[in-house]
Amino acid sequence: MKIRPHLRQSSAFLRLASDGAVAAMVKLAGAGLTYVMFIAMARITGESAFGYFASAFALASLLAFAGSLGQQSAILRFWPEWEGRGDTDAARSFLLLSVSVGAIGLIVVAAALCAAAYLYDLAVGRSVWFAFGASTALLLVALGWAEVLSSALRAQGRLLLALLPKEVLWRFLAIAAAWACGFVWGRIGAVEAVLLAGTLLILVLLPQTVILVVRAYLSPRKALEPKQKAEFRSVTLGLWGVTALNPAIAHGVSLVVLAILGPVEAGAFFAAQRSALLISVALAGLNQVLAPQISRAYYRDEKQQLQHFVSLGAAISASVGLLGLIFFAIFGRCALGLFDPGFATHELWIALMVLMVGQLFNAMAGPTSILLQLTGKQHTLLNLLIVSNAVGVIIIVSLVYFAGTIGAAVGASFTSIVWNALAIYTARRDLGIDPSMFGMARR
């Protein structure tokens, strides 16, 4: 009898390791394809147009998280919780509610962006901004819906179906389409590049959408009780703020650089930032598997197993991140030159190294955000994000103004390090869990 808990825990670890390996490989492939996709877009648009494309992509990513209203995290919170209680019908009802709320939110935010672009067009007397806003709105809907779909399928254990369409198929098609456009027309504008990316992603997501909607409507479910609906609203409010603010600094820096330094510098910084994000690919892949496991372990009160899950993920991601930092320290300028020969400067390489230090700390910190979101600490997490982002915006704007792209990198990395340190402290204080790689010693 004493052996059974250990056997059950070992089985869970093996299953997590297997799923984590699959997710990490898909994420690694996706990260490589993403990198090539942005290189292809940079090559067919040119320095200035790529800066506008990069800014549109950053804005679409930021608004996608705001428009989805935190439902990608709500799904991963409620499905494992109610499925773990044996009430799959309620889990399906929560899932359908989240999917509906996320879809409506994305449409509303996209419509607001189109309206704002149209009004700006009228104010400045130029016709390009509405087209730019409309293409960005299409892309934000696609990006946000992809996250909602991915969470819904991951929660149900359909890992490959959740990851492959966006991570691999979309990026592969975008690369092929970009090179085809370059072969036929030589150059395309930023609006056409954004429209191309958004349209292809919408098409790729159609099969996932059909599968999810058909299963959600045809499978048994039950009406949620008033208490359950109240809990959903409360949790959604916190998760909405968290999912909107968590990526705000990462995506917002490119927009600050665009506003202060111009499109060429914005494109160069975007290339450095995307290069730095490669060293967090292991954590991103493991997070795909860890999210449902964290929720299940927490609500089953399996604290030791939860501690092991998060710290093991942090240790793996930190090891991969360190290797990535060494690689880009040696070949960083060559990598930046792939986007555009003008990006292979010593100044941009320094910015890249500073950004990578922040990403390495992020990898070492582990799944801090997911841990707090899925254990009922979303409101505490939201307060941390409000404080760290408010300070971060002031620092980043000041440093970009006085120190250019290096200042942007310093501000972004400093904000990321401070936020992760605060999140680790909060998790240790409120949950007794250390999500960083150093939490292995707490077993």
The full DSSP string for 106-160 is HHHHHHHHHHHHHHHHHHHT-SHHHHHHHHHHHHHHHHHHHHHHHHHHHHTT-HH
C-alpha–C-alpha distance, residues 142 and 64, integer Å: 8
Sorting pLDDT into bands at 50, 70 and 90, what band is 309? Answer: confident
Domain extent at residue 178: 3-442
Q: What is the pLDDT of residue 113?
A: 93
- From the list 153, 251, 156, 133, the residue with the least C-alpha distance to 205 is 153
Q: What is the mean pLDDT of the chain?
A: 82
What confidence category does residue 194 fall into, taking pLDDT thresholds of 50, 70 and 90? very high
The DSSP result for 14-35, as a single string, is HHHHHHHHHHHHHHHHHHHHHH
Q: Report which of residues 234 and 127 the model is more confident about.
A: 234
Cα 6 to Cα 265: distance, rounded to the nearest angstrom:
55
pLDDT exceeds 50 at position 107:
yes
> Into how many domains does the chain fold?
1
pTM, rounded to two decimals: 0.80
Contact 353/329 with Cβ under 8 angstroms? yes
**Does residue 350 carry a pLDDT above 90?**
yes
pLDDT in the model for residue 225:
75
Rank 138-147, 183-192, 218-227, 310-319 by mean pLDDT and report only the highest. Answer: 138-147
* Rounded Cα gap, residues 328 and 274, in angstroms: 12
pLDDT for 1 equals: 42
Average pLDDT over residues 405-423: 90
Span 153-181, average pLDDT: 84
In this prediction, residue 208 has a pLDDT band, given cuts at 50, 70 and 90, of confident
* pLDDT digits 0-9 by tens, 55-104: 999 999 889 988 888 888 788 777 777 776 777 777 778 888 888 888 99
pLDDT for the residue numbered 210:
84
pLDDT attached to residue 407 = 93
Task: Answer yes or no: are the C-beta atoms of 424 and 365 closer than 8 Å.
Answer: yes
Which is more confidently placed, 226 or 145? Answer: 145
178-185 contacts, C-beta under 8 A, 24 or more apart: 178/37, 178/40, 178/41, 178/43, 178/44, 179/40, 179/44, 181/44, 182/40, 182/43, 182/44
Structure tokens at 379: 């409101």
Residue 201 confidence class, pLDDT cut points 50, 70, 90: very high
Q: What is the pLDDT of residues 216-268, one digit of tens each?
A: 667 666 777 788 788 787 777 777 777 777 777 777 888 888 889 888 898 89
Distance (Å, whole) CA 162 – CA 156: 10
Considering 16-25, 308-317, 342-351, the range whose residues carry the highest mean pLDDT is 342-351
Report, as an integer, the average pLDDT of 178-192. Answer: 86
Contact partners, residue 16, CB within 8 Å, separation at least 6: 289, 290, 293, 309
Residue 7 — pLDDT band, cuts 50, 70, 90? very low
Average pLDDT score over residue span 306-331: 84
Q: Above 80 in pLDDT, residue 333?
A: yes
Nearest to 54 by CA among 122, 120, 132: 132
Considering 80-94, 146-160, 389-403, the range whose residues carry the highest mean pLDDT is 389-403
Q: Tell me, what's the pLDDT at 254?
A: 84
Rounded mean pLDDT of 191-208? 91
What's the pLDDT score for residue 378?
74
Output the pLDDT for position 18. Answer: 55
Which of 118-122, 180-184, 257-261, 295-299 shows the lowest per-residue confidence on average (mean pLDDT)? 295-299
